[in-house]
Amino acid sequence: MGDWWSPAMMPDPTLDTKELSSISGISMSPSRQNSQHSLHSTMVLPKSTYSVLSAFCTEENISQCVTYINQEVCSLGLSAVSVECKSGSVSAVPVLNLLYEVLQLQRRAQRGLQELETQQIKNCSDLEHLQNNNCRLKDQLEHTRRENSGLHEGERQLQLKIKTLQNCLKSEKEEVQKLQSIISSRATQYNHDLKRKERDFTKLKDRLNQLLMDKRDKKLSIEVSNYVGRSDGKRGLWKTGKMEARHEGEMYKALLTDYEARQRSLMLENSELKKVLQHMKKDMIAILSPKKPCVKAELADDSLEQAGSECEDEAGESSRETLEQSCEQAREQLTNSIRLQWRKLKSHMERLDSQASLVASQEREAEELISRKEQEEELQRMRLELQQCKEFIHMQQQLLQQQISSPCDEETAALLNDCYTLEEKERLKEEWRLFNEQKRNFERERKNFTEAAIRLGHERKVFEEDRAAWLKTQFLNMTPFVDRKRPALSEPHSALSVGTEPEAKLHLTPPLFTKSLSNSVFCTPKAAPVKMPTTADLYRTLNLIPESRGQGKCQSAEMLSRSRLRNSSSDCSVISLVRDENGSV
Amino acid sequence: MNFSEVFKQSNQLCKVSPDGKYLATCVQYRLVVRDIGTLQIVHLYTCLDQVMHMEWSSDSLFILCAMYKRGLVQVWSLEQPDWHCKIDEGSIGLVSSRWSPDGRHILNTTEFNLRITVWSLCTKSVSYIKYPKACQKGMDFTADGRYMALAERRDCKDYISVFVCDDWHLLRHFESETQDLAGLEWSPNGCVLAVWDNCLEYKILLYSLDGRLLSFYSAYEWSLGIKSVAWSPSSQFLAIGSYDEKVRILNHITWKKITEFEHPATITNSKAVVFKEVEKRPVVSEDLSIRQLTVDNALFSTQSKYEITQLPVQVPVVKPDPERANPKIGISAVAFSADNRYLATKNDNMPQSLWVWDMQKFSLLAVLEQTAPVRCFVWDPHLPRLALCTGNTKLYMWSPAGCISVTVPVEGFQVQSLFWHCTGSSLVLLSKDQLCLCYTDAEEQK
């Protein structure tokens, strides 16, 4: 740094600035960093290090410095803010501006530098990578080259082998050919030799024969003590043309007999086979005939078949006659008919087979379809049910929870309940109203009853009194034993409360049977004939009064509706009953 | 099962007369004729030399004894013991001699198959048939004895001549389409002649009596061919055994193959029964006494019995030597039972096994696995039963009911060969130099 700064500290600042700039320009690239460092350092450096000696600008050389700076700035290409020095004092604004610009420039330069550096690093790494890659590829190339050469070598060897083998083959072939030719030549030679030798042999034989004959071999003889008769007892015959003819005839006779025997056996066999054939044919006809109508009805191509069957029938009739004749026509007919029938049978069988397979497949398909459909339906249904059940369960759970939680705040529960079953509630209300009405009716009735009873009691009393009076008069009039009957009469009198009961029963039962609203509940009055049922009891037994509201709450919607339905129906009946009663009363 | 006493024989020369009354045996140069019932000697003839071949005439009146070394044939009469006949073939030599079916002619084949000399006992006349072919079976008579087929070789070609045996008239003479004819055989009804090529080519030709080619059959090429041929007694089937270890059955109408029977080394056919002969050597007890040795002579002979073995069964196979001619492989023997129902076969590379096939179901019926190679097997002339021997002291029999093994109660009698009496009532067993009769249905007779 000192070196750089030293020229600036030259005693003569009027030195060729150009040179200086050029120097600076030259030394810019290497010194740039240094300057940067210096800049940083100067910024960081404490002021104490700042020495007057090393200062660039002093009081004396301000103008020079300014001009130098200007020059420098101009050379940097900045707006040559000519820092005018006005009488020794430097205005701060342009300097600061300049400084700022310089700073900007410097920062930009620094950024560029950084970028360049990173670029450099990146490039370096890229280079390295590429180098590595290159190395690898080189290795690979080498390897493949080596492999290639190996393969080439192998190929060459194989080709060599092929060549040698081909040569071998060729030589072998040649040898084979040679051997074959040798064999054939030998064979011909041997054959030739054989023939020659055989000829020689025959010649020799002839010669020997001749010699023997010529020599009149003394030894060749037969000594027979006396002649023997022929085995067949006949005498020998002269060889004549007649004899020859006879021999021929005999030979042909023998042959003929043999052929006849053979023909007979063949005929027998044939007839047997024919019988079998006939039998088969019959069976075939028997098998096929019942099927014909349906087959005909079924099939469109029955024209051919009809013809065939006609043919068959004809043939069947005719063949029976012609079976014995073995003329060709008959045979042809027979075979034709059999063939036809056989074809028919075959086609029938095939048809049956195909039908069976078709039916089977259809059945299978249908089964599959049905089952699938059913399954799907079932599944759907089950799913629905499941859904419903889930809903129910959910609802029940909710209700249960509500039930559990209701004690703490009954109102909200009630509200909820109301929310849930507003309609229900309305209906219940209506029912309640009805009940109340009925209750009132019953009350009134009861009142009537009691009043009537009281009235009756009064009347009875009066009647009793009348009767007593009448009896008294009678007794007094007729017998002294009138008093004895009194206890017997007192019995119905005492059973006054019982007496009302059949009345009620009478009122209750008829609607029960006439209307088929068979509710077992209605039968209960029978079981309680001992005492007069109170209206409350009656209501209770008729399930008109809900025993507890809580129970109803926890029931599911359906259950509720069901019970409601039942209740309503019973209500109806009860209402009608009551009305009847009212009407009757 | 009873056994007769043992008689001597030589060269396995022992024949029962066609009428079944006499048994002729040759012992060196003597010919002994016995009554089959009593086994008493009826006649005794003395020949000029050791007999090499002996044969009954078809009417059981004459016996032919051939002495090939001397080129001589002697004929003896049963009715007139002092009657005699001697045929000398002279210097040309003799290799084979046989009766003609009428029993009045003798056919002698000279050495080198130079000619066949036909000697008549009635007229003392002699006639020659030239160029007979030297082959496996070059001559065959029809069952009724009326015709004779003879293979001939002329100008390096095969010819077949059909003669009328009555007067040796040449009925037909035709060229056969064979490379090298190996054999010919008449069908039992005498109307079809089967002719087969030698083993180098699988070819069988079927000719009618009048020389027409009815059909020919070839199963394969470029391999060893036919080894054995047999007609069924009904002439319905023709069984052909070949070197490929198969038997092919041809039918008599189309002459096409009906079926073929393979002889696999492993039997897996569940319907077949495998009878395995199991030998049991008697345990020599410690207290071996002289008495035991003398009385119980079965001590030294091994007992054997058949056991039904569970399938699958591995049949012992002998690998043939490919370097030698006539390799021991293929079906060398085929025989139909008298009722045409069964077929017995023997495969040469399975020498210890005998195969029995059902000809109604065309399937394998039974396999007899012997401990030794099968030497000889013969069907009963009337019943469906099969007798076989393996060169040991036992006689084996198979019938649809099962298998039995019988030890011949003669010490050291090793059955080399056997044949049935024409009624099927007895079997003649031949050892190397002995013979013995075995009565198979002695109980019935009693």
Report pLDDT for A426.
85
For the residues A436-465, what does the mean pLDDT come to? 88
Q: Can you tell me which residue has the tokens 């073939």? A: B89
For the residues A400-423, what does the mean pLDDT come to? 67
Q: B83, A254: Cβ pair inside 8 Å?
A: no
The helix (H) or strand (E) run that includes residue A566 is helix A557-584
Considering only the beta carbons, identify the residue of B102, B189, B210 that sits closest to A251. B210
Report pLDDT for A227.
75
Higher pLDDT residue, B42 or A224? B42
Report pLDDT for A34.
43
CB-based contact, B341 to chain A, within 8 Å: no
Q: B123, A208: Cβ pair inside 8 Å?
A: no
CB-based contact, A234 to chain B, within 8 Å: no
Closest-CA residue in chain A for B92?
A212
Rounded to an integer, what is the distance from CA A514 to the centroid of its chain? 61
Closest-CA residue in chain A for B113?
A205
| Dihedral sign from CA coordinates of A206, A207, A209, A214 | positive
Q: Where is average pLDDT lowest: A431-435, A488-492, B174-178, B368-372?
A: A488-492
The tokens describing A566, both together, are 């039942």
CB-based contact, B102 to chain A, within 8 Å: yes
Q: pLDDT at residue A100 above 50?
A: yes
pLDDT tens for each residue of B412-424:
889 999 999 999 8
Report pLDDT for A497.
42
Chain A residues in contact with B63 by the CB 8 A cut-off are none
For the residues B102-108, what does the mean pLDDT come to? 90
Report pLDDT for B331.
92
Q: pLDDT at residue B133 above 80?
A: yes
Closest-CA residue in chain A for B212?
A255
Local structure of B35: helix, strand or coil: strand
Q: A217, B90: Cβ pair inside 8 Å?
A: yes
Please count the other Cβ atoms lying within 10 Å of the Cβ belonging to residue B63.
25
Task: Give the gap in angstroms from C-alpha A259 to the nearest C-alpha of chain B.
Answer: 9
Q: A220, B82: Cβ pair inside 8 Å?
A: no
Residues 79-98 of B with CB under 8 A from A: 82-92
* Alpha helices (runs of H) in A45-91, residue ranges in sequence order: 62-76
CB-based contact, A211 to chain B, within 8 Å: no
Contacts of A338 (CB under 8 A, 6+ apart): A277, A280, A281
Interface-testing mutation among A222, A235, A239, A246, with chain B (most B C-beta atoms within 10 A): A222
CB-based contact, A258 to chain B, within 8 Å: yes
Residues 214-233 of B with CB under 8 A from A: none
CB-based contact, A227 to chain B, within 8 Å: yes
Closest-CA residue in chain A for B125?
A222
Q: pLDDT at residue A418 above 90?
A: no
Highest mean pLDDT among A73-77, A136-140, B103-107, B133-137: A136-140
Q: pLDDT at residue A464 above 90?
A: no
Interface-testing mutation among B75, B94, B104, B147, with chain A (most A C-beta atoms within 10 A): B104
* Residue in A212, A229, A221, A230 with CA at minimum distance from that of residue B86: A221
Q: pLDDT at residue A395 above 50?
A: yes
Q: Number of Cβ pairs closer than 8 Å across A and B?
A: 114
Considering only the beta carbons, identify the residue of A219, A236, A239 that sits closest to B91. A219
Domains in chain B: ranges and CATH: 1-130 (2.130.10.10)
Chain B residues in contact with A218 by the CB 8 A cut-off are 90
CB-based contact, A223 to chain B, within 8 Å: yes
Q: A218, B210: Cβ pair inside 8 Å?
A: no
Report pLDDT for A577.
41
Chain B residues in contact with A244 by the CB 8 A cut-off are 169
Please count the other Cβ atoms lying within 10 Å of the Cβ belonging to residue A20.
17
Q: pLDDT at residue A398 above 50?
A: yes
Q: Where is average pLDDT lowest: A31-35, B72-76, B331-335, B385-389?
A: A31-35
CA B208, B214, B218 angle in degrees (round to 5)?
Answer: 125
Q: pLDDT at residue A582 above 60?
A: no
Local structure of B232: helix, strand or coil: coil
Q: pLDDT at residue B168 above 60?
A: yes
CB-based contact, B167 to chain A, within 8 Å: yes
Q: What predicted TM-score, i.e. pTM, was given to this entire model? A: 0.59
For chain B, how many residues are written? 446
pLDDT tens for each residue of A436-449:
998 899 888 888 88
Q: pLDDT at residue A90 above 60?
A: yes
* Residue in B423, B419, B345, B343 with CA at minimum distance from that of residue B382: B423
Q: Do strands B273-280 and B363-369 pair parallel, antiparallel, or not at all (unpaired)?
A: parallel
The tokens describing B152, both together, are 């001939």
For the residues A401-421, what does the mean pLDDT come to? 65
B105: left (phi over 0), alpha (psi -120 to 50) or beta: beta
* Residue in B160, B226, B150, B149 with CA at minimum distance from that of residue B190: B149
What is the pLDDT of chain B when averaged over all its residues? 88
Can you tell me the distance from the alpha carbon of B244 to that of B160, in angstroms, rounded to the nearest whole number?
Answer: 28
Using CA atoms, how far residue B257 sits from A52, B203, B253, B344, in Å, is: 139, 13, 11, 18
The tokens describing B187, both together, are 């069908």
Report pLDDT for B336.
94
Interface-testing mutation among A231, A234, A242, A267, with chain B (most B C-beta atoms within 10 A): A231
The confidence band for A41, taking pLDDT boundaries of 50, 70 and 90, is very low
For the residues A312-331, what does the mean pLDDT come to? 52
CB-based contact, B130 to chain A, within 8 Å: yes
CB-based contact, B133 to chain A, within 8 Å: no
Q: Can you tell me which residue has the tokens 């076989």? A: B388
Closest-CA residue in chain A for B118?
A222
CB-based contact, A253 to chain B, within 8 Å: no
Closest-CA residue in chain A for B73?
A222
CB-based contact, A228 to chain B, within 8 Å: yes
Q: B121, A205: Cβ pair inside 8 Å?
A: no
Strand order in the sheet with B41-46: B14-16, B22-27, B30-35, B41-46
Higher pLDDT residue, B164 or A507? B164
Q: Where is average pLDDT lowest: A54-63, A106-115, B42-51, B382-391?
A: A54-63
CA B271, B272, B278 angle in degrees (round to 5)?
Answer: 140
Chain B residues in contact with A219 by the CB 8 A cut-off are 71, 88-91
Can you tell me the distance from the alpha carbon of A503 to that of A497, in angstroms, rounded to the nearest whole number?
Answer: 11
Closest-CA residue in chain B for A254?
B191
CB-based contact, B1 to chain A, within 8 Å: no
CB-based contact, B159 to chain A, within 8 Å: no
pLDDT tens for each residue of A264-289:
988 999 889 888 888 887 887 787 77
Closest-CA residue in chain B for A205?
B114
Can you tell me the distance from the alpha carbon of B191 to that of B247, in angstroms, rounded to the nearest whole number?
Answer: 23
Considering only the beta carbons, identify the residue of A236, A255, A262 that sits closest to B122. A236
Using CA atoms, how far residue A569 sits from A438, A564, B334, in Å, is: 15, 8, 110
* Residue in B400, B247, B256 with CA at minimum distance from that of residue B335: B247
Please say whether the beta carbons of B84 and A225 come within 8 A.
yes
What is the pLDDT of chain A when averaged over all its residues? 69
* Alpha helices (runs of H) in A478-556, residue ranges in sequence order: 486-494, 496-514, 524-527, 535-541, 549-554
pLDDT tens for each residue of A8-37:
444 444 444 444 444 444 434 443 444 444
The helix (H) or strand (E) run that includes residue B181 is strand B181-186
Chain B residues in contact with A199 by the CB 8 A cut-off are 155-156
Higher pLDDT residue, A325 or A250? A250
Report pLDDT for B283.
58
List beta partners, residue B32: B25, B44
| The dihedral formed by the CA atoms of A4, A5, A10 and A15, expressed in degrees to the nearest 10 | 60
Highest mean pLDDT among A169-178, A313-322, A406-415: A169-178
Is A273 exposed, middle or buried, given 0-12, 13-18 or 19+ CB atoms closer than 10 A?
exposed
The tokens describing A220, both together, are 């060749």
Report pLDDT for A291.
54
Q: pLDDT at residue A39 above 80?
A: no
Task: Give the gap in angstroms from C-alpha A250 to the nearest C-alpha of chain B.
Answer: 10
For the residues B17-39, what does the mean pLDDT come to? 92
Task: Give the gap in angstroms from C-alpha B84 to the nearest C-alpha of chain A.
Answer: 6
Q: pLDDT at residue A321 above 70?
A: no
Considering only the beta carbons, identify the residue of A195, A223, A254 that sits closest to B209. A254
Chain A residues in contact with B155 by the CB 8 A cut-off are 199, 202
Q: A198, B156: Cβ pair inside 8 Å?
A: yes
Please say whether the beta carbons of B387 and B418 come within 8 A.
yes
Considering only the beta carbons, identify the residue of A205, A248, A258 that sits closest to B189. A258
Report pLDDT for A545.
52
CB-based contact, A210 to chain B, within 8 Å: no
Please say whether the beta carbons of A512 and A568 come within 8 A.
no
Q: Can you tell me which residue has the tokens 């493949």? A: A144
The tokens describing B66, both together, are 């051939």
Higher pLDDT residue, A339 or A231? A339
The confidence band for A550, taking pLDDT boundaries of 50, 70 and 90, is very low
| Dihedral sign from CA coordinates of A51, A56, A60, A62 | negative
Report pLDDT for B341.
92
For the residues B393-420, what does the mean pLDDT come to? 90
Task: Give the gap in angstroms from C-alpha A246 to the nearest C-alpha of chain B.
Answer: 11
The confidence band for A549, taking pLDDT boundaries of 50, 70 and 90, is very low
Q: pLDDT at residue A99 above 70?
A: yes
Q: A254, B190: Cβ pair inside 8 Å?
A: yes
Closest-CA residue in chain B for A238?
B167
Q: Where is average pLDDT lowest: A231-235, A240-244, B10-14, B208-212?
A: A231-235
* Residue in B176, B187, B108 with CA at minimum distance from that of residue B147: B187
Task: Give the gap in angstroms from C-alpha A179 to the nearest C-alpha of chain B.
Answer: 17
Q: A220, B153: Cβ pair inside 8 Å?
A: no
